[in-house]
Homo-oligomer: A and B are copies of this chain.
Amino acid sequence: MNQNSFVLKGTVCFSEDSNTIFISENAFLVCENGLSSGVFSVLPEEYRGLPIHDVGNRLIIPGLVDLHLHAPQYCYRGTGMDLELLEWLNTITFPQEAKYADLDYAGKAYSIFVDDLKKSATTRASIFATLHVEATELLMDLLEKSGLKTMVGKVNMDRNGSPALQEQSADASAADTMRWLQDIQGRYQNTRPILTPRFTPSCSDELMKQLSLIQKEYHLPVQSHLSENFSEIAWVKELCPQSRFYGDAYDMFGLFGGEGCPTIMAHCVHSSEEEITLMKKRGVYIAHCPQSNTDIASGIAPVRRYLDEGLHIGLGSDIAGGFSLSIFRAMADAIQVSKLRWRLLDDSLKPITLEEAFYMATLGGGSFFGKVGSFEKGYEFDAIVLDDENIRHPQPLTTRERLERLVYLSDERNITEKYVSGNRIL
């Protein structure tokens, strides 16, 4: 019997779909060889030989998924919070990211980041590093050891950076990308590369062409940014006059989802009709980052519409446009900003519900990683155990109320156990 086979007993919650949270108290959640075999109110005969770990009244939920964050920006989260996107990139982000040329600095900064990510409710994440190959590999080494399952991208940027943070040419950027991919071949179990053109303003057409070839050769997933901010969108139009809309500036180069090119686009706050139609057609994943969109004053994405129209959508912390690494916080933020959008912009798009936020944080984003984000049979066994005893109350609470309180009020102290593909990492 594999050591990744066991039974957790407790109060189990997971999304059945975007409108339904399955809840079962005193339930048996079975893990076999790192995969869920399902949730049972009476443990079936066939699993009675497995070790049972009873967590009592605690909640067991799928590990949370962070579809978008910048590891090098973690160190300055919660500072410089009064700038818009392009000003923020030039004034704070680019100078800070330039520091990762220094591997000593990168080691210190990334160790803090990985420690904190491990302590969080997040089990899967899609992560931007910097343009530096060595520092990116160092980050991947640390993430690999953490037991978290992540995708990590060496960033590509050959224009509009800062003197200290820009690759010298499209060729140099592509060559570094190849070097990185060759370096890491076969090196990791938990950590995978993802192709990461920073965003259109940072990548020349020539670089995009070369990245497209690399994508096809290595069958890589892709992540980037899309329609976050009005000035950015206008700038893309100038830089890529041949594109019909921002997303088309990726699609022209075959870097916008579709067969063999799974893609995450962060933000999609101001996507046009054509862009939304194409995202849906291409199966592009939207990383909704409500905290960042608020902090950098980008706006509020029409998440109700994306959900109702069946687009792929998950949540992102977008460290350090967002300041909190917590995807619970991202769930609360997503609900909150959807209420303001409904009140201030468009009362035809109803606020999103707890059920929908929970879905985005688990199954919605998780499916980018395969069968992830659910406890249905066959899903990877990513789970966290939550103790809510420190959030005291005098009255009885339903399980749904307990879950709702954890979304709004929990922090890493409430996480008592954490499993990734059946391996306990906390």
Contacts and interface: CB of A to CB of B under 8 A. Distances in A.
B79 A401 contact: yes
A75 B395 contact: yes
Interface in A343-402: 343-345, 351, 353-354, 391-395, 397, 401
Contacts of A394: 75, 105, 108-109, 112
A345 B344 contact: yes
Query: Contact size class for A?
Result: 35 or more
Contact of A295 (B336, B391, B392): B336
A409 B343 contact: no
Interface in A77-130: 77-82, 96, 99, 105, 108-109, 112, 116
Interface string A384-426: 0000000111110100010011011101000000000000000
A299 interface: yes
A299 B343 contact: yes
A195 interface: no
A79 B353 contact: no
Contacts of A81: 335, 354, 404, 408
B75 A409 contact: no
A interface: dominant SS: helix
Given A79-B401, A409-B78, A409-B324, A392 B351 contact: no
B407 A82 contact: no
A52 interface: no
Contacts of A78: 391, 404-405, 407-409
Contacts of A108: 394
A159 interface: no
Contact of A343 (B298, B393, B395): B298
Given A300-B344, A340-B297, A343-B299, A76 B395 contact: yes
Nearest to A106: B394
Contacts of A246: none
A194 B420 CA distance: 53
B343 A297 contact: yes
Interface of A: 75-82, 96, 99, 105, 108-109, 112, 116, 291, 294-295, 297-300, 323-324, 335-337, 339-345, 351, 353-354, 391-395, 397, 401, 404-405, 407-409, 411
6 contacts: A79-B405, A105-B395, A297-B342, A299-B343, A300-B340, A337-B340
